[in-house]
Chains A and B, each alone.
Chain A
């Protein structure tokens, strides 16, 4: 019997980011409006497998998912593998803009989760003219540190096991076990220190955008927010506070945790499709 083959294609693109050559792995499917998807801290683009495989979406959207440098199949730039990695606002924005520029994407939609849900706020602030719309999953303006991230990367704790177990904590008990396992496996495969390094952007001062929310004009670039109710990293009340500050709505997804597109993809798609329809109609 012939195997079932998914419509996703994965290739490598050579892209300069902040003056350094990178070999970036990306996956894509579909045609139409570019939809650039941004994975969570410490993981990779496999989180968006259901979006890439959804014919209702790929009929109208060119879904593109790249692995951030150091993540998934995008290796660190030459000579940087031993660097003390810490993601910054400037560096993260540069990756996304470089990817969009490299593929000459016109008016793409960007959708990000967690750190990706935070960086879309920075895209709204700094690059509103570049995007047709933005979608923030598990999106908040800041997170106060509530646990010690040094446990994620130290010599006497297996980083993969630790990061996988912590990712498991962030998922809803109602999510299908096979997708929970898939999601934590991505974390178990992450490179040493990348989860902790990404959280440099997410927690504390680096990515905190509270003071700049007043300068974001959602009329210029519409922003859509979707948040799972079991998430304790970006809690529903955190997204609601963000939405209130921006004067927009937020959809709270029951029975969903921190990784909606990956931990419970079929249910998540029922929330995403209407948002993409509205963006297309708009």
Chain B
């Protein structure tokens, strides 16, 4: 579900340039499956699927697989179009140390949105 981040936010991409200097371990949880997204200088260098043994991460965004699928639709429905919309509707949890995410909130939102198929 999140593998493509190594392409959309690869080193040298415009997306990576939006968070220069950011080093972060972002965990994305879909149901019971965790994907560890390693961000170095704003670029995603790895999107490592679990299971993980004693993983270390900064921020984790957790939602059901179906809710992630709705969020990642080309044109998401009301209530699913943004991580805060999911939070409001209790379909997503923000976990861990939120500081690096909040310091780079627009980048994190764009990072996730980069997984949506292009709308023709």
Please report A residues at the B interface, Cβ cutoff 8 Å. Answer: 146-147, 151, 156-158, 161-162, 164-166, 168-170, 172-174, 229-230, 232-233, 236
Contact = CB atoms under 8 A, between A and B. Distances in A.
Contacts of B88: 146-147, 232-233
B1 interface: no
A236 B79 CA distance: 11
Contacts of B109: 165, 168-169
B117 interface: no
Interface of B: 75-76, 78-79, 81-85, 87-89, 98-99, 102-103, 105-106, 109
A162 B106 CA distance: 8
Given A168-B109, A173-B75, A232 B84 contact: yes
Contacts of B82: 168-170, 232
A233 B84 CA distance: 10
Nearest to A152: B102
Contacts of A168: 82, 106, 109
A174 B75 contact: yes
B14 to A, nearest CB: 15
Contacts of A156: 99, 103
Contacts of A165: 105-106, 109
Contacts of B89: 232
A162 B79 contact: no
A119 to B, nearest CB: 22
B90 to A, nearest CB: 9
Given A166-B105, A232-B88, 18 more contacts: A157-B102, A158-B103, A161-B103, A161-B105, A162-B105, A165-B105, A165-B109, A168-B82, A168-B106, A169-B83, A169-B84, A170-B84, A173-B75, A229-B78, A230-B78, A232-B78, A232-B82, A232-B85
B81 A172 contact: yes
Contacts of A236: 78
A282 B107 CA distance: 49
A40 to B, nearest CB: 16
Nearest 5 A/B pairs, CB to CB? A165-B105, A165-B106, A169-B84, A169-B82, A232-B88
Contacts of B106: 161, 164-165, 168
Nearest to A161: B106
Contacts of A158: 103
B102 to A, nearest CB: 5
Contact of A173 (B81, B84, B98, B102): B81
